[in-house]
């Protein structure tokens, strides 16, 4: 189960209550900042926009690729560790508006995480340090540190231990071929 706060609504669906849950001017400002960040090719500028105007916690040398869409209403609930890569056109959500309720949840992405292109990360999830999430994944539950996850629905493809074993085997075969990592 994802870690989200649930807020019940009466009468119309929860999206009709949007400006009771988040100020209109905050959404307008966030929209402008996010659109600028989505298209800028300058990684440091993106990170500064996210930190300064959206109050996101972004680690050093983290790279958001072109067209990444962060939560427009609650970006401050997103944190990304250092030296991580968020792939092209990834969506990171900290809210869900449903018929009878809306949900809010923190999204925590660790250090040295690789998120493939076109991934969607749902609220209330954590992606552990050193994890790899393949392209096109729907992250609907936590991803443990060091593992490789992918698919829709997402599943763990390799655990941290299996990943370490694969890396050790790759090094072994590189040495046998006279190559190696430079």
pLDDT 10s digits, 70-117 = 999 999 999 999 999 999 999 999 999 999 999 999 999 999 999 999
Q: What is the pLDDT of residue 182?
A: 47
Cβ atoms within 10 Å, residue 90: 24
Q: Tokens 């992405």 appear where?
A: 109
The domain limits of the chain are 5-176
The answer to whether 139 and 121 have CB atoms below 8 angstroms apart is yes
**Architecture of the structural domain at 5-176:** 3 Solenoid (2.160)
What number of CA atoms fall less than 13 Å from residue 172's CA on the CB side? 6
Q: What is the rounded average pLDDT of the residues 158-173?
A: 79
Q: What is the pLDDT of residue 168?
A: 79
Confidence of residue 163 (pLDDT cuts 50, 70, 90): confident
pLDDT(180) > 70 = no
pLDDT(172) > 80 = no
Q: What is the pLDDT of residue 148?
A: 96
Q: What is the pLDDT of residue 175?
A: 60
Q: What is the pLDDT of residue 102?
A: 95
Confidence of residue 174 (pLDDT cuts 50, 70, 90): low
Q: Which residue has the higher pLDDT, 77 or 162?
A: 77
């Amino acid at each position: 189960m994802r870690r989200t706060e649930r807020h019940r609504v009466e009468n119309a669906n929860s999206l009709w209550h949007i400006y009771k849950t988040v100020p209109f001017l905050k959404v307008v400002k966030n929209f402008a900042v996010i659109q600028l960040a989505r298209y800028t090719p300058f990684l440091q500028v993106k990170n500064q926009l996210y930190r300064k105007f959206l109050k996101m916690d972004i680690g050093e040398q983290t790279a958001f690729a072109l067209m990444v869409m962060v939560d427009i209403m609650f970006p401050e609930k997103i944190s990304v560790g250092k030296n991580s890569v968020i792939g092209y056109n990834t969506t990171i959500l900290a809210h869900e508006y449903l018929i009878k309720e809306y949900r809010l949840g923190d999204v925590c992405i660790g250090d040295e995480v690789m998120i493939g292109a076109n991934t969607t990360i749902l609220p209330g999830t954590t992606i552990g340090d050193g994890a790899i999430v393949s392209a096109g994944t729907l992250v609907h539950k936590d991803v443990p540190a060091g593992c490789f996850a992918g698919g829709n629905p997402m599943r763990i493809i390799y655990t941290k231990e299996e990943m370490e074993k694969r890396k050790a085997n790759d090094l072994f075969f590189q040495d046998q071929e006279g190559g190696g990592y430079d």
